[in-house]
Chains A and B, each alone.
Chain A
Amino acid sequence: MDVLLWLCLEFFCTGLFAVGGGLATIPFLQRMGHKHPTWFTQAQLADTIAVSQCAPGPMGTNIAATVGYRVRQLPGAVLSVLSLMVPTVVIDLVIAALFDKFRRAKRVREVLATLRPASAGLILAAALSLLLLSLSGGQEVPSLRSPAGWRALAEMLDWRCLALYTGLLPFAFWKKLNKVHPLAYVAAGAVAGVLWKL
């Protein structure tokens, strides 16, 4: 099957199952990278996510554009973004047509009450593996099912990366400080990376 068709199919599925916005697409993208190793590595995906925060517009479609571009230049970028949007727009059309009924229906509310926490768990898992990858300077993270995997991970962690991460956390969490623009984080990370030769 042609690569473009695969891209469309993968991003269509991502759009269909990623509940809760841009971050929710990351677990599906990580899996996409494992399934199609020639498309991108996990480290490249981490870079893509970082770059997507420096560009205007929704993070989810920006990531799709970069992944699509990496696989098949401009046609890949456009088709990936559109495929990601199709399920959302179609589902929203149905919802918009019955908006008020939709919000009041008991069944719908009950399903949403399970979808949100499940998706939050997925996002947490994706964020954790992204974090471990970033803290170890972009190396593949070993499976954490065995103690050996944990030991390997502990050896891979770069203490300077960990220091940078903990140093930036207060800015992300502390109310008075978190008006900081995303680009400021990116700039801080870039400066630290160059100065410390990470």
Chain B
Amino acid sequence: MKLLWQLYISFFKVGLFTFGGGLSMFPMLEREVIARRKWCTKEEILDYYAVGQCTPGIIAVDVSTFIGYRMKKTLGAVTAPLGVITPGLIVMVLLSTVLRFLTAYPAMQSAFVGIRVAVCAMITASVVRILRESVKNLWQLGLAVISFLVVAVFGANPVWVVVGACLAGLTLGKRFSKGNEE
């Protein structure tokens, strides 16, 4: 029980002091989970990231689930991700209430037009990084281009792209996995 509480509190802190989730969480994990609690090593956490990046869902949830499982099996695997998401949930609910009133002002609306553009600059850099990391050969490049076109130009449901990619992996997998050894 004590360990579960520690897991929750530690991951609450990790969630509270990081912005954006994913990799930006790593320095805080190093401090709280590796140095302070000594729950696992840096290499293990990097492994968790590698798996998290290619499984469904938020990477922060993946990594905290794996660390939680390591410490306290299924109960830990549920507790740790709940800790990571709690601060964001509270802040977002409070922000939503405040913003609902503020967005009535024209100045606030102009501010948001600017904020959206600024956030796009940040996102552009992340997208380029993701593309670099996930496209390692021509087959993968082709797949990324097709998946982009099917959704951006023809408005297909992204679910079918994911299902189609799974099928392609099962049938033509060897071609795609070339150059992907870690």
Could you list which residues of chain A lie within 8 angstroms of chain B, going by C-beta atoms?
Answer: 13, 15-23, 25, 27-28, 31, 46-47, 49-62, 65-66, 69-70, 74, 77-78, 81, 84-85, 87-89, 91-93, 95-97, 99, 102-103, 106-107, 109-131, 133-135, 137-138, 143-145, 161, 164-165, 168-169, 171-173, 178, 181-183, 185-186, 188-194, 196-198
The residue that A172 contacts in the complex, of B81, B111, B121, with Cβ under 8 A, is: B121
What distance in Å separates the Cβ of A101 from its nearest Cβ neighbour in chain B? Answer: 12
Contact status A110-B65, CB under 8 Å: no
The residue that A103 contacts in the complex, of B47, B69, B78, B153, with Cβ under 8 A, is: B47
Contact status B117-A165, CB under 8 Å: yes
Could you list which residues of chain B lie within 8 angstroms of chain A, going by C-beta atoms?
Answer: 15-22, 25, 47, 50-62, 65-66, 69-70, 74, 77-78, 81, 84-89, 91-93, 95-96, 99, 103, 107, 110-128, 130-131, 133-135, 140-141, 143-148, 151-155, 157-159, 161-162, 164-166, 168-170, 172-174, 176-177, 180
What distance in Å separates the Cβ of B105 from its nearest Cβ neighbour in chain A? Answer: 10
Closest 5 CB pairs of A and B: A57-B88, A193-B114, A110-B173, A88-B57, A189-B118
Contact status B121-A115, CB under 8 Å: no
Contact status B112-A47, CB under 8 Å: yes
Residues of B within 8 A of A54 (CB): 19, 95
Task: Compute the total of residue contacts between A and B using a CB distance below 8 Å.
Answer: 395
Residues of B within 8 A of A185 (CB): 118-119, 121-122
Q: A77-B89, A89-B81 are in contact. Are A169 and B21 (CB under 8 A)?
A: no
What distance in Å separates the Cβ of A35 from its nearest Cβ neighbour in chain B? Answer: 10
Residue of B nearest to A61 (CB): B85
What distance in Å separates the Cβ of A103 from its nearest Cβ neighbour in chain B? Answer: 7
Contact status B60-A58, CB under 8 Å: yes
CA distance A160 to B126 in the complex (A): 23
What distance in Å separates the Cβ of A4 from its nearest Cβ neighbour in chain B? Answer: 16
CA distance A17 to B53 in the complex (A): 13
Interface of B is mostly: helix
Contact status B99-A51, CB under 8 Å: yes
Q: List 6 A-B contacts (CB under 8 A).
A: A58-B21, A92-B55, A95-B51, A99-B51, A145-B153, A168-B118
Q: A50-B112, A53-B19, A189-B118 are in contact. Are A114 and B169 (CB under 8 A)?
A: yes
CA distance A93 to B66 in the complex (A): 8
Contact status B144-A198, CB under 8 Å: no
Q: A17-B159, A124-B127 are in contact. Are A57 and B56 (CB under 8 A)?
A: no
Contact status A31-B169, CB under 8 Å: no
What distance in Å separates the Cβ of B125 from its nearest Cβ neighbour in chain A? Answer: 4
Contact status A164-B54, CB under 8 Å: no
Contact status A89-B159, CB under 8 Å: no
